[in-house]
């Protein structure tokens, strides 16, 4: 089931400016009006409005931050940084794009700035694994294996360049279309598509080096072989 | 027939699904909220915070006054209502004052919208469209009818786009016309280049239409007929480029404005069915062998065609598009090289062949040429 990213997107898209006129559902219209009003109140320094923006969007921001960094240990600080930036910058939000696009852009920028700063600091090896594996010893085997696979996949994402990882996360995990991703990262759509192509190809290459994930591919190969009863050629298996 | 995906690709898809389902850990939201509300400015910014703290009340007052003034000005300058049916209107509408999502319907006369210094678009009679993005990348969604646009050339590509259902027509500084005809999208390019592509996926290549070419596309933007100087490529759109379609292309006469292209085989972005199982793409080693040959050839051409006693160097991104049958479909140089160098390179590159595959492949290499 892929409901997790969808819930966030549907919620955000309810606030989309272009839905204001096209959507005749009163409830949704109400939500749009509320958001516009909230943003205006935030601009005017209304603390309660900012609190509401925080409560409405904190889960979505946390999810995106986790996917961009793969480090649950940094999550708390980064989400707080994002909302500090929202607080500082909301006056610059002119409503020329969706609020969700603006918030995505801001979140991605905060994460990338943090990563750049972190490069100049010593890295604690295995921090990502520890964070994912801290309280997993009591999990059933399948859940434990899944958690390890997720941690392994985040390690691969971590090896990619910032630009490729950002577009991959926004498109493949958050479900944004390339044109939406283009608006978030400020690049032409064709550039986004090219980055997605190479990000995917790079990940396919890296999968082979990651034992926890190579296992998945091997499992799928075995499944396919048992289904077809055929032996794969060398070309297909590499 | 469905093309079997490689196990690695299926593994990647499975991992993507697992990551999507993996929930973010619950944070102590109450504590974070308390911190945010108590100390909204970061501790690392102490100097400026104390300065701004002193100005907070006056600033808040100013902001409130400005907000009120903005609202008053906005109301008195009468932004367009959410739905508007424009009748005869010779003077262009100021596109920069259109509220996002404002639906425009032209009456019996064309409706002209101008975004100062950026683009001017004309909604033809009875057509309906609305602006979905008014920021750096102007985007207009065409619901019905036709729209013509002239876009001011911009060093940043794709600053203007028209969307029709799932098709996106993005512009690189040009004059063009888009029309929705039943379940098809027709695009005519008078100047410059436009890219036509699906707006929701990245797996299909974009169609590049250049001056005096036209195309008729499905609403999902994945398939279409192209006529004239057009081709299907994946490009990075990073700026100037010289694109050579190596497959035989139809001559590029100026197409009549309202005639549909004659029936032609549908150019499909979907992989074609294969009798024998083929790899999705040529192997990396095959690609690298081809790249190596291409680089040698480029160096030789650059050396032979650049006649000077001085030291000369040039950088370009070479993009090769390989068709499923292993032949080279197109070559792109961004930025373009001297015509003589390009002609020499293209002549030699034609001979390159790759192993057959289902999808073919497009790849780019940055080259530094010198003599």
Q: Are B169 and B128 in contact (CB under 8 A)?
A: no
- Within chain B, all domains assigned CATH 3.30.2420 are found at 284-370
Could you read off the pLDDT of A124-175 as tens digits, one per residue? 444 444 445 445 555 566 777 788 888 888 888 989 999 999 999 999 999 9
β-strand pairing of B83-86 with B242-245? unpaired
User: Nearest CA of chain A to the CA of B117: how many Å?
Assistant: 17
Task: Let me know: does B96 contact B116? Beta carbons within 8 Å.
Answer: yes
Q: How far apart are CA B358 and CA B6, in angstroms?
A: 12
Annotate B284-297 with b (16+ C-beta within 10 A) or e (fewer): eebbeebbeebeeb
> B60 and A238 in contact by Cβ < 8 A?
no
How many angstroms separate the CA atoms of A34 and A48, rounded? 13
Q: Is the peptide bond before B335 cis (omega within 30 degrees of 0)?
A: yes
Q: What integer pLDDT is reported at residue A147 of this predicted model?
A: 81
Reduced to 3 states (helix: H, G, I; strand: E, B; else coil), residue A231 is: coil
| Residue A163, pLDDT score | 93
Nearest CB partner across the interface for B82, out of A20, A186, A194: A20
Query: Cα separation of B41 and B48, whole Å?
Result: 10
Q: Give the integer Cα–Cα distance in Å for B228 and A33.
A: 48
- The reply to whether CATH 1.10.3470 applies to domain B284-370 is no
Q: Which residue of B has its CA nearest to A39?
A: B67
| Comparison of pLDDT for A188 and A139, the residue scoring more | A188
pLDDT of residue B157: 66
Beta-bridged to residue B187, according to DSSP, are B178, B215
What whole-number distance in Å separates Cα of residue B40 and Cα of residue B35? Answer: 8
Predicted local distance difference test score (pLDDT) of residue B152: 81
For testing contact with chain A, the best of B5, B8, B21, B48 (most A CBs within 10 A): B8
**Closest CB to B19 among A45, A150, A171:** A150
Q: Which pair of structure tokens corresponds to residue A176?
A: 């944004």
> Six-digit token pair at B356?
């057959």
Q: What is the CA radius of gyration of chain A?
A: 21
Domain ranges of chain A: 1-121
When pLDDT is cut at 50, 70 and 90, the band that residue A4 belongs to is: very low
- CATH among 1.10.1740.10, 3.20.20.10, 3.30.479.10, 1.10.620.20 for A1-121: 1.10.1740.10
Indicate the pairing of strand B138-151 with strand B160-164.
Answer: parallel
In terms of CATH architecture, what is B83-268?
A: Sandwich (2.60)
- Which residues of chain B fall below pLDDT 50? 1-2, 40-55, 68-89, 202-205, 233-240, 247-275
Least confident of A187-191, A194-198, B152-156, B185-189: B152-156
CA distances from B337 to A227, B155, B364 (A): 52, 19, 15
Cα gap B295→B284, rounded to integer Å? 16
Token representation of residue B163: 């969307």
The mean per-residue pLDDT over the stretch A2-27 comes to 31
Q: A88 to chain B, minimum CA–CA distance in Å?
A: 8
* Of A33-47, A104-118, B3-17, B151-165, highest mean pLDDT: A104-118
Residue B151, beta-bridge partner list: B119
Cβ(B92)–Cβ(B114) under 8 Å?
yes
Three-state DSSP class for residue B296? helix
**With 70 as the cut, is the pLDDT of residue A107 above it?**
yes
A10 Cβ contact partners less than 8 Å away, ≥ 6 residues apart: none
Q: Which of A204-213, A217-226, B211-220 has the highest mean pLDDT?
A: B211-220
Provide the pLDDT for residue A63: 93
With CB atoms and an 8 Å threshold, state whether A190 touches B37: no
Could you tell me if the ipTM is greater than 0.85?
no
Instruction: Indicate which of A15, A19, A220, A222 best probes the interface with B, i.e. most B CBs within 10 Å of its own CB.
Output: A220
Model confidence band, residue A111 (pLDDT cutoffs 50, 70, 90): very high
- Distance, CA of B24 to CA of B30 (rounded, Å): 17
Chain pair A-B, CB pairs under 8 angstroms: 208
Q: How close B339 gets to chain A, by Cα (Å)? A: 26
Per-residue model confidence (pLDDT) at position A14: 31
Tell if the CB–CB gap between A194 and B236 is shorter than 8 Å: yes
**Per-residue pLDDT, A62:** 94
Find out whether B231 and B245 touch, Cβ atoms under 8 Å. yes
Where in the sequence of chain B do the CATH 2.60.120.1440 domains occur?
Answer: 83-268
């Amino acid at each position: 089931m892929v409901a997790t990213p969808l819930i966030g997107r549907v919620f955000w898209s309810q606030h989309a400016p272009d839905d204001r006129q096209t959507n005749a559902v009163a409830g949704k219209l109400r939500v749009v009006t509320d958001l516009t009003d909230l943003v205006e109140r935030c601009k005017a320094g209304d603390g309660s409005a900012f609190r509401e923006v925080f409560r409405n969007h904190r889960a979505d921001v946390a999810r995106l931050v986790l996917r961009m960094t793969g480090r649950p240990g940094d999550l708390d600080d980064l989400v707080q940084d994002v909302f500090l930036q929202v607080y500082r910058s909301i006056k610059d939000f002119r409503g020329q794009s969706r609020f969700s696009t603006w918030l995505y852009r801001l979140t991605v920028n905060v994460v990338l700035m943090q990563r750049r700063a972190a490069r100049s600091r010593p890295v604690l090896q295995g921090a990502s694994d520890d964070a994912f594996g801290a309280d997993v010893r009591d999990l059933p085997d399948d859940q434990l294996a899944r958690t390890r696979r997720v941690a392994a996949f985040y390690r691969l994402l971590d090896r990619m360049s910032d630009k490729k990882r950002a577009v991959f996360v926004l498109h493949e995990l958050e479900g944004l279309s390339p044109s939406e991703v283009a608006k978030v990262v400020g690049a032409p759509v064709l550039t986004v598509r090219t980055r997605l192509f190479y990000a995917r190809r790079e990940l396919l290459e890296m999968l082979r080096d990651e034992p926890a994930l190579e296992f998945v591919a091997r499992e799928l190969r075995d499944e396919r072989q048992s289904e077809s009863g055929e032996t794969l050629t060398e070309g297909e298996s590499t | 027939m469905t093309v079997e995906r490689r196990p690695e690709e299926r593994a990647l898809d499975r991992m993507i699904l697992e990551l999507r389902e993996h929930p973010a850990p619950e944070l102590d939201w109450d504590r974070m909220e308390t911190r945010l509300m108590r100390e909204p400015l970061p501790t690392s910014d102490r100097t400026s915070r104390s300065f701004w703290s002193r100005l907070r009340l006056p600033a808040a007052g100013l902001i409130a006054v400005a907000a009120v003034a903005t609202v008053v000005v906005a109301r008195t300058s009468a932004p367009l209502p959410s739905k508007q049916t424009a009748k005869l209107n010779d003077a262009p509408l100021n596109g920069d004052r259109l509220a996002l999502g404002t639906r425009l319907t032209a009456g019996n006369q064309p409706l002209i919208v101008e975004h100062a210094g950026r683009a001017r678009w004309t909604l033809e009679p009875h057509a309906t469209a609305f602006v979905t993005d008014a920021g750096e990348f102007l985007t207009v969604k065409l619901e019905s009818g036709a729209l013509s646009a002239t876009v001011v050339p911009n060093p940043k590509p794709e600053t203007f786009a028209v969307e029709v259902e799932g098709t996106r027509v993005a512009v690189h500084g040009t004059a063009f016309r888009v029309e929705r005809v039943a379940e098809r999208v027709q695009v005519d390019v008078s100047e410059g280049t436009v890219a036509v592509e699906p707006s929701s996926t990245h797996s299909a290549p974009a169609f590049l239409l250049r001056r005096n070419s036209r195309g008729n596309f499905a609403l999902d933007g994945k398939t279409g007929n192209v006529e004239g100087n057009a081709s299907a490529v994946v490009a990075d759109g990073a700026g100037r480029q010289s694109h050579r379609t190596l497959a035989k292309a139809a001559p590029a006469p100026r197409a009549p404005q309202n005639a549909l292209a004659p029936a032609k085989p549908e150019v499909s972005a979907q992989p074609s069915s294969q009798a024998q199982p083929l790899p999705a793409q040529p192997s990396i080693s095959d690609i690298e062998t081809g790249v190596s040959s291409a680089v040698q050839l480029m160096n030789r051409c650059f050396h032979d065609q650049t006649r000077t006693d001085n030291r000369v160097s040039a950088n370009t991104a070479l993009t090769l598009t390989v068709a499923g049958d292993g032949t080279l479909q197109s070559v792109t140089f961004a930025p373009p090289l001297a015509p003589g160098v390009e002609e020499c390179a293209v002549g030699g590159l034609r001979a390159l062949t790759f192993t057959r595959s289902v999808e073919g492949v497009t790849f780019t290499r940055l080259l530094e040429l010198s003599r």
